[in-house]
Amino acid sequence: MEIRKISSEIIKPSSSTPEHLKSYKLSAMDRFALDISFSLVFYYSSVGACKNISDHLKKSLSETLTYYYPLAGRVKDEFSVDCDDYGVTFIESHVACKMSELIKQPKIELLEQLRPYNEEEMLTTAQANMAVKVNYFDCGGVAICVSFRHVVVDGSTAAYFVRNWAKVASGGSLIDIKDHVVFDCTSIFPSQDVSSMSKGQPDANDEAITEWFVFENSKIAVLQENIGNRPTRFEALLALMWGAMIDAYAKEDDPTVQIGALIPVNLRRKLDPPLPEQCIGNAVTIGMTAWPTKERAEYNKIVFKVRELISMVDEYVKNGFQNGWKTCIIDHAAMDRNSAMKMLNFSGTSRLPFYQTDFGWGKPVWCSAGQRSKNNNFVLVDTSDGKGIQVMVRLSKEDMAKFEQDPAILAYAS
């Protein structure tokens, strides 16, 4: 796949950011987030008769950045963002292939080429909070890739930003959300010393493999019925995939190994009053639990364990963050400090409005999300019909071979 850059320019907010808003405070949750970048890519089969696509996208992006002005800024230090309207890089490129060929059997190495920057360039060379690349295919299809810096944006912010940009591009207005995008989250998650807390590092592995697994609605319904107790789609698929990894390592006859799970929980709806879904920042805490491979992986018990963990988060929020905020809620009863731990990262974005992102030429035919530097990673996104779920799985070669041959994965996944 050959990609040729057509142009590159800086897009600034359509209105200058007022002086009193030029310093945006990072909350404790922001400061604890890994300083990495991640991308969302929206694929459109054809833009048809749309005229002046480039100017149309740039103008609407400029208008949207007026409301999301920290995204046009630069991280000043660990406490704040300088919102001095530096702007967002907007790159256009031509892709010498048909888009259908790319998304029929997506390869992470090819999808990475659709990004405006690779992950290292985004943070070092560009030092950007956000960047855009619009990729035009020979067939008339368009893939819009938007990259974000994680310490400023979480997945919810990113999804709603792109949807709202599309809303402006298709003739809508954001005036109704102007007071629901940027506000001081340090009042909820006050800044504190995080130097003693380990953020961890992106567990990069250049030899890891990324594959997409599609779970059709009918197969998910069967799985839910087999598990019982009415699990959500996320709970059912998490149990299936976590169970596959538990079974894989159980076969190695090492009873000391535990397979852990990191499960992000969006706090926006859990707070009282709730935070708007589209607000900037990181409003996510992490639940962590584990399953010993010496115990048989039973889906209904895994679902119960996940629900217990979410209940711990709910209780923590209900009690008003006693003893300060936490970035990780741990099921201590499940953790054996004397055991080796293999940790899996699960994230469910199936409730986010990816397929509502219509720039004026229809909804996307496919969306992809994630970052290459994070291994043992499972990212769940709705399929385009809103009924099934696709999962981007990134594992080592050895683990992927075990995972994709698991009988339950073969039974439920396409």
- Tokens standing for 19? 């002086």
The closest of 333, 334, 331, 337 to 256, measured between CA atoms, is: 337
The closest of 334, 328, 329, 283 to 304, measured between CA atoms, is: 334
Residue 292 CA to chain centroid, in angstroms?
28
Annotate 124-190 with DSSP letters as a single string: TTS--SEEEEEEEETTS-EEEEEEEETTTB-HHHHHHHHHHHHHHHTT---GGGTTSS---GGGTS-
Q: What are phi and psi of 394, to 5 degrees?
A: -125, 115
- Active site residue: 176, 179, 358, 382, which one? 358
CA distance 250 to 379: 24
The closest of 34, 24, 65 to 204, measured between CA atoms, is: 34
- Active site residue: 30, 150, 154, 399, which one? 150
Based on the residue annotation, tell me whether 20 is a catalytic residue of this protein: no
Based on the residue annotation, tell me whether 358 is a catalytic residue of this protein: yes
CA distance 168 to 63: 8
Residue 31 CA to chain centroid, in angstroms?
17
Q: Decide if 384 contacts 364 (C-beta within 8 A).
A: yes
* Identity of the residue numbered 219: K
The closest of 337, 331, 276 to 309, measured between CA atoms, is: 331
What are the CA-CA distances from residue 169 to residues 52, 68, 180, 378, 398 (Å)? 12, 15, 20, 32, 45
Active site members: 150, 358
